[in-house]
Amino acid sequence: MKPAHASKGAATREVIVARALEISAERGLDALTIGMLAEATGMSKSGVFAHFGSREDLQLAVLDGAAREFTEQVFVPALRERRGLPRLLAILERWMQRTLADGIRRACPIGAAAVEFDDRPGPVRERVLGYVLHLRREVARAVQIAIEQEHLQPGLDAHQLAFELHALMTAFVLELKLFGPEAAESRVRSSLARILGSLATPAAASPAH
Amino acid sequence: MKPAHASKGAATREVIVARALEISAERGLDALTIGMLAEATGMSKSGVFAHFGSREDLQLAVLDGAAREFTEQVFVPALRERRGLPRLLAILERWMQRTLADGIRRACPIGAAAVEFDDRPGPVRERVLGYVLHLRREVARAVQIAIEQEHLQPGLDAHQLAFELHALMTAFVLELKLFGPEAAESRVRSSLARILGSLATPAAASPAH
């Protein structure tokens, strides 16, 4: 069992990260400062500073938090679905719902940081790259299982399709901000239906399979 | 014939817009100020101000300039290609080359402004929306001609495919910044080949058609 002060420290850190996640979802990772977080949590700057050695450590913690949240909201619940196309569709559905919930005012801090830090080499950019690759690999794995289950055509390049699905979900974020949730959702659903429809095997449509 | 002072004024305005285009391609539309442009062109602030009544007018002129540049570099030369799939492919090829030329340090000011101004209603956002819709319509028109020429399958939704192609080219910009030009180009070319290959008619492959 951890000593009480350590678990209290961990709980405080969690509160700070949760608040930091909200702020960077609304304003980007660059907007985040230790002073702003102190104000938002009602702590002193040195209090916040004690949990994060630097602004960069704080930014990395936000990226870790955002990735954990995505995994918990998208990938973990999709594991309850049948292996193959149903699980891939569940991932895409939950991803869409998450984007719709973010709406016009909020955005995934990892996606935002991919743009903000694209020309700034360093640990933040490395962490962003790592999470983008991780996301891409998880989607490719779901595609690969759907191929193995004979729900998607054999010979399909799983990583290439994962790139295309990621491109579509990224376009969804911008489409939503430009044209509103209804038009954007209709566009992305039609594209998913067209793309996956053209790649599905006849067996995928059969519920008995 | 215009009086000499009017054409001199138009030429000066062009010089300012060209410099403003460079700055906003590197740093976004938000980074642009009349003071910064005065310094970059060696003019006085009031000199720059005489050509643009406000910072917003300047931003709108940059968007107009970026759209004109895109049309001249992408759509106009593609008109020399045969109507149908060859012309659509020429548009996509020139669009890719433009993105590759922008590379890691530069980006299309309209695309950047779509993100920067997504939550700020007003004339700049309206202009961005107008140009995104215009781009989408021009691509949809090229798709529609390819359907009419029987190069792409009948019954295809031209606007939906235009959205997907736009999504892919937007993803290309981010992919390039994250993973470098070679990996990004290979990804986007494979996707275009797969998507258009699956939608092309047998006749499109025949050079005699």
Q: What is the pLDDT of residue A10?
A: 84
For residue B25, give the nearest of B108, B147, B130 by alpha carbon.
B108
Residue appearing with tokens 């402004």? B113
CA distance B187 to chain A (A): 7
Most A CBs within 10 Å, among B108, B116, B118, to test the A interface: B118
- Condensed to tens digits (0 to 9), the pLDDT of residues B10-20 reads 888 889 999 99
Given the candidates 2.130.10.10, 3.40.50.2300, 1.10.760.10, 1.10.357.10, the CATH classification of the domain at A59-205 is 1.10.357.10
10 Å Cβ neighbour count for A5? 8
Which band of pLDDT confidence, cut at 50, 70 and 90, is reported for residue A6?
low
Q: What is the ipTM of this complex?
A: 0.89
Q: What is the pLDDT of residue B156?
A: 95
Alpha-carbon torsion (A68, A72, A73, A75), positive or negative: positive
Show residues of chain A in contact with B177, CB under 8 Å.
114-115, 118-119
- Condensed to tens digits (0 to 9), the pLDDT of residues A132-180 reads 999 999 999 999 999 999 999 999 999 999 999 999 999 999 999 899 9
Region for A44 from its dihedrals, namely left if φ exceeds 0, alpha if ψ lies in -120 to 50, beta otherwise: beta
Give the phi and the psi of residue A146 in degrees, each rounded to 5: -65, -30
Task: Name the CA dihedral angle for B168, B170, B172, B174, rounded to a multiple of 10 degrees.
Answer: -140
CA distance A172 to chain B (A): 8
Rounded mean pLDDT, B143-153: 97
Chain A residues with a Cβ under 8 Å from any Cβ in chain B: 104-105, 114-115, 118-119, 128-129, 132, 157, 160, 163-164, 166-168, 170-171, 174-175, 177-179, 187, 190-191, 194-195, 198
Instruction: Choose among B114, B187, B194: nearest Cβ to A178.
Output: B114
Quick check: B187 and A163 in contact, CB under 8 A? yes
What is the percentage of chain B residues whose pLDDT exceeds 90?
68
Q: C-alpha angle B186/B188/B191, rounded to 5°?
A: 110
Output the CA–CA distances (angstroms, integers) from residue A10 to A14, B34, B125, B163, in the order listed: 6, 48, 43, 45
User: Taking CA atoms, what residue in B is nearest to A127?
Assistant: B178
Q: What is the pLDDT of residue B2?
A: 52
Instruction: Choose among B104, B167, B190: nearest Cβ to A171.
Output: B167
CATH class of the domain defined by B60-203: mainly alpha
Most A CBs within 10 Å, among B174, B190, B199, to test the A interface: B174
**3-state DSSP: chain A helix, strand, coil percent, rounded to 5?**
80, 0, 20
CA distance B144 to chain A (A): 17
Q: What is the pLDDT of residue B142?
A: 98
Q: Do A104 and B114 touch (CB under 8 A)?
A: no
